[in-house]
C-alpha cells in the first residue's frame, strides 16, 4: 500500500482521534491548568484538527510529486519514441541558400551601442 493511502485512511480513523484524546488528557492533567468539563470537547476537536492539517498538506504534496513523476515518465517516453522524420531525409537546401562563410563580425554590431563612457548613477 502506498504511503498516501496509509495517510488518507489512518489519519481520520486513528491519528486525528488520538491527537484529540492526547490534547484532552493533557488539558485535564496539566499542572496549574484549570479546564472546565464543557470545554474538553472543544479541546478534543482542536487537537483532532491539528492532526488533520499536516496530513492534508502531506497529501497535497504527494499529489504534486505524483504529477511530476508522471510528467517525467511521459517526457522520457516521448524522448525514446522514434523521430517523426528520419535524419537522412533532411536536405542541405538551407545551407546552400545562405553562405555562412561571408558573414562578418561587423554585420552583428549594434549601432545604438557606442564606445562612450557610461554615465555615473544619480548624475
Stretch among 3-7, 21-25, 106-110 having the lowest mean pLDDT: 106-110
**What are the CB-based long-range contacts (under 8 Å, 24+) for 74-79?**
none
The answer on pLDDT for 17 being more than 80 is yes
pLDDT, one tens digit per residue, over 45-103 is 999 999 898 999 989 998 999 999 999 999 888 887 766 665 555 555 656 666 666 66
Distance CA 65, CA 119 (A): 50
Domain boundaries, the chain: 3-81
**What are the CB-based long-range contacts (under 8 Å, 24+) for 26-32?**
none
Going by pLDDT thresholds of 50, 70 and 90, the confidence category of residue 21 is very high
Going by pLDDT thresholds of 50, 70 and 90, the confidence category of residue 3 is confident
Distance CA 9, CA 55 (A): 11
- The answer to whether residues 48 and 13 touch, using CB atoms and an 8 Å cutoff, is no
Share of the chain above pLDDT 70, in %: 69
pTM (predicted TM-score): 0.51
- The answer to whether residues 67 and 46 touch, using CB atoms and an 8 Å cutoff, is no
Short-list 80, 20, 18, 76, CA closest to 49: 20
Distance CA 99, CA 77 (A): 38
Distance CA 12, CA 55 (A): 9
Amino acid at each position: 500500500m502506498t504511503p498516501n493511502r496509509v495517510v488518507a485512511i489512518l489519519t481520520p480513523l486513528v491519528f486525528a482521534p488520538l491527537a484529540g484524546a492526547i490534547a484532552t488528557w493533557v488539558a485535564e492533567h496539566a499542572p496549574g491548568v484549570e479546564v472546565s468539563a464543557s470545554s474538553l470537547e472543544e479541546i478534543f476537536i482542536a487537537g483532532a484538527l491539528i492532526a488533520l492539517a499536516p496530513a492534508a498538506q502531506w497529501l497535497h504534496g504527494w499529489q504534486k510529486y505524483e504529477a511530476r513523476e508522471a510528467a517525467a515518465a511521459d517526457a522520457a517516453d516521448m524522448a525514446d519514441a522514434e523521430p517523426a522524420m528520419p535524419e537522412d531525409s533532411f536536405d542541405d537546401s538551407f545551407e546552400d541558400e545562405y553562405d555562412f562563410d561571408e558573414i562578418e563580425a561587423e554585420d552583428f554590431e549594434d549601432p545604438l551601442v557606442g564606445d562612450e563612457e557610461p554615465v555615473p548613477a544619480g548624475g
